[in-house]
Chain A
Amino acid sequence: MTKKLLEVKNLRTYFHTFKGTVKAVDDVSFWVDEGEILAIVGESGGGKSVTGFSVIRLIEEPGRIESGEILFEGKDLMGLSESQMNRVRGKDISMIFQDPMTSLNPVYTIGQQIEETLILHTDLSPKERKAASIELLRSVGISNPESRLKAYPHQFSGGMRQRVIIAIALAADPKLIIADEPTTALDVTIQAQILRLMAELVRGKGRSLILVTHDLAVVSEMADRINVMYCGKVVESGPTRDVIDRSAHPYTKGLIGSIPDLERDKNRLETIKGIVPNMFDLPKGCKFAPRCTRAKEICHVQEPEVINMSQSHQVACHFPFREEVL
């Protein structure tokens, strides 16, 4: 029986702006097992990143975590003070950001930035820290790590920087890593490399990963389970194969349909009709109803309950696709 490493219950993160309140994350619950890769997918503005940042409580003004529990190894992170939280960040849970070009501080060397994490979260001596930094750089595939320690971020390419960021995220050997669209800003040719590297490192050490992405193709290869998010809600969740092969929510179907497929001879790429609604003015009932081909009257009025498709496969839809329909 695997143990739950992280369990998020009824998380609500709202942004209070001049124009009104944005419910970026609205009553979201999910969990991550030890050694598991969980993917959170959805379109831009669906609340995926905010969910990731909420877990380590890095929500900046005007955002606020309104309510919810974030249980990490059974301990509620919401109850920790800021300085207690700083001992969790980077040590127990670390994060990899979307844009490697801006995530590293331009005025510190690579070595200093790796070492900073080691100073904060380990008891290593200066000599051991240097050795550990070199080892970390080597593990993420950077050649000549000794000489790279003194280099500055601007001397590195985007792919190399993301490798450095992964090295920093792994430095204190955290139990959970949250990767927020780690490959979106990289060249296509490098994306696969970086993802494979991350998966290897995480699996090799038996650590857990939350992979936030909009790329279902990537996810289907790597993840154990998938959460599909739309407008701040989890609309479908379950094991990867269930969600991909037996998707129940029309939104998930749409996402899968819009993956380009070079082998099939299609003239046009399928898309999901319409755009993500204005977050200040969300539709009543099911948030996806205005774009949904299967929507009936009830969808515009009443928010769908979460229903079990199987023991591990949940969907929030009034009219989910059932096996027999296929």
Chain B
Amino acid sequence: MFRFIVKRLIQLVLVLFVVSLIVFVFTSVMGNPVYLMVRENATEAEIQAVVQYLGLDKPLPVQYGIFLKNALHGNFGKSYMYHLPALGLIMERFPATLEIVVVALLLSASLGIPLGVLSGAYPKSKFSQGVMAFSIAGISMPSFWIGMVMIFFFSLYLGVLPVSGRGDVGTILGINTSLATVNGWQHIILPSITLALGNVATIIRLTRSGMQENMRQDYVRFARAKGVPRRKVLFGHALKNTLIPVVTIFGLQMGSLIAFTTITETIFAWPGMGKLLIDAINIAARPIIAAYILFVAVMFVFINFIVDILYVFIDPRIDLQ
């Protein structure tokens, strides 16, 4: 176990190094922030001053060295526009994103897994066919469209849920979150459902195909021959053998939801990381983009690390070495 963790940490460092290099190269050739910062009719001297202030006059390798050194201290530079530390901005927005992602993931697990189990166990039933039709719809409809339809229906037509924004924020265990207030929950529902819809469909299909495979196995039959009730056969014996791919996809989904909620956050004007990224790209704010991408990379490595450890709890045949 210890060796596994050390190996993973080394891997993390390698991944971060490569990502930082790519990030640096791309952000260096992408747009020139100087012209966004100075007056429209700035003099040559003013431009030079800004260039020097941003350190853009030094050769690229030196710039990279400085970038790396600062990044190691968690310092990605100040946002050109807000004049606030980039990482701080991201961390400030992170809880908002995490909120809708966690609710979306809980939704997709609590709906997707049971529906997948049942439709996999009784593939010929009407219920199962209905679930499959729903999941195809869920996969093929784009989330931004669903988001807009739901805003139209629930917020404008029925008027039961707010149109956009984050709503009231309360504190749970010292963390500011809208999960603490009723008004906050009302705001969370629609964006979370929008995020969850595609994932629910994926998880249903994955669980279903795994269940169909496992229900044919001898150990399922043997469990039934022992007199194990149907429900326990499905959600115990068969499901546990189905979980490995589901957990893998679940981890990946969690990562990509946190990293790329941009569309949903834009539609619902949700003040999360995704919205911040879009704004940063529009104004070519290099520090924010760089910090964002590195942050996402660390997060993915971390999530995969957790998923790998979960494997061992699910399937004893898997050895971390």
Q: Do the two shown chains form a genuine complex with each other?
A: yes
User: Which residues of A are at the interface with B, using a C-beta cutoff of 8 A?
Assistant: 56, 58, 60-61, 82-83, 86-91, 94-95, 97, 99, 102-109, 116-117, 120-121, 152, 154, 165, 168
Task: Tell me if B222 and A97 are in contact (CB < 8 A).
Answer: yes
Instruction: Indicate whether B183 reaches chain A with its CB closer than 8 angstroms.
Output: no
- Selected A-B contacts with CB under 8 Å, 12 pairs: A58-B224, A60-B221, A90-B227, A95-B222, A97-B222, A105-B237, A107-B241, A108-B237, A116-B223, A116-B228, A120-B228, A152-B316
Given contacts A83-B229, A86-B229, contact A106 B224 (CB under 8 A): no
Q: Which 10 A-B pairs have the closest CB atoms?
A: A90-B227, A89-B227, A102-B218, A90-B226, A95-B225, A105-B219, A152-B316, A103-B222, A86-B227, A107-B240
Residue of A nearest to B214 (CB): A105
State the total of A-B contacts with C-beta under 8 angstroms. 73
Given contacts A58-B221, A102-B219, contact A107 B227 (CB under 8 A): no
A94 to B227, CA, bound (A): 9
Task: Tell me if A107 and B316 are in contact (CB < 8 A).
Answer: yes
- Within B146-183, the residues touching A (CB, 8 Å) are none
B229 to chain A, nearest CB (A): 6
Partner of B225, one of A94, A106, A107, A121: A94
Task: Tell me if B218 and A94 are in contact (CB < 8 A).
Answer: no
A107 to B314, CA, bound (A): 7
Most buried by B among A61, A82, A103: A103
Partner of A90, one of B217, B225, B317: B225
Task: Tell me if B226 and A89 are in contact (CB < 8 A).
Answer: yes
- Within B271-321, the residues touching A (CB, 8 Å) are 314-317
Task: Tell me if B224 and A88 are in contact (CB < 8 A).
Answer: no
Q: Which residues of B contact A117 (CB under 8 A)?
A: 226-227
A107 to B220, CA, bound (A): 12
Partner of A103, one of B219, B314, B315, B317: B219
Q: Which residues of A contact B69 (CB under 8 A)?
A: none
A82 to B223, CA, bound (A): 14
Task: Tell me if B241 and A168 are in contact (CB < 8 A).
Answer: no
Partner of A106, one of B221, B223, B229, B315: B315
Task: Tell me if A120 and B316 are in contact (CB < 8 A).
Answer: no
A228 to chain B, nearest CB (A): 25
Task: Tell me if A106 and B219 are in contact (CB < 8 A).
Answer: yes
Partner of A165, one of B222, B224, B314: B222
A109 to B313, CA, bound (A): 12
Instruction: Indicate whether B58 reaches chain A with its CB closer than 8 angstroms.
Output: no
B227 to chain A, nearest CB (A): 4
A120 to B230, CA, bound (A): 13
A211 to B317, CA, bound (A): 33
Given contacts A82-B230, A106-B315, contact A56 B225 (CB under 8 A): yes
A56 to B229, CA, bound (A): 14
A82 to B226, CA, bound (A): 13
A104 to B224, CA, bound (A): 12
B232 to chain A, nearest CB (A): 9
Q: Which residues of A contact B221 (CB under 8 A)?
A: 58, 60, 97
Query: B45-72 CB contact bits vs A (8 Å, 1 = yes)?
Result: 0000000000000000000000000000
A107 to B227, CA, bound (A): 19
Residue of B nearest to A93 (CB): B225
Q: Which residues of A contact B315 (CB under 8 A)?
A: 106-107
Q: Which residues of B contact A91 (CB under 8 A)?
A: 227
Residue of B nearest to A88 (CB): B227
A60 to B224, CA, bound (A): 11
Q: Which residues of B contact A61 (CB under 8 A)?
A: 124
Q: Which residues of B contact A108 (CB under 8 A)?
A: 237, 240
- Within B216-259, the residues touching A (CB, 8 Å) are 217-219, 221-230, 237, 240-241
Taking A107-B240, A120-B227 as known contacts, 17 extra A-B pairs with beta carbons closer than 8 A to each other, sorted by chain A number, are A56-B225, A58-B221, A83-B229, A89-B224, A89-B226, A89-B227, A90-B228, A97-B221, A103-B219, A104-B219, A105-B223, A105-B237, A109-B316, A117-B226, A117-B227, A120-B228, A154-B316
Most buried by A among B223, B225, B240: B225
Residue of B nearest to A100 (CB): B218
B219 to chain A, nearest CB (A): 4
Task: Tell me if B222 and A120 are in contact (CB < 8 A).
Answer: no
Q: Which residues of A contact B237 (CB under 8 A)?
A: 105, 108
A296 to chain B, nearest CB (A): 43
Partner of B317, one of A89, A154, A165, A168: A154
Residue of A nearest to B222 (CB): A103
A203 to chain B, nearest CB (A): 22
A121 to B107, CA, bound (A): 36
A102 to B222, CA, bound (A): 9
A92 to chain B, nearest CB (A): 9
Given contacts A82-B230, A103-B218, contact A152 B224 (CB under 8 A): no
Q: Which residues of A contact B316 (CB under 8 A)?
A: 106-107, 109, 152, 154
Q: Which residues of A contact B124 (CB under 8 A)?
A: 61
A82 to B224, CA, bound (A): 11
Q: Which residues of A contact B241 (CB under 8 A)?
A: 105-107
A137 to B223, CA, bound (A): 18
Most buried by B among A82, A99, A108, A121: A108
A107 to B218, CA, bound (A): 14
Partner of A87, one of B217, B227, B314: B227
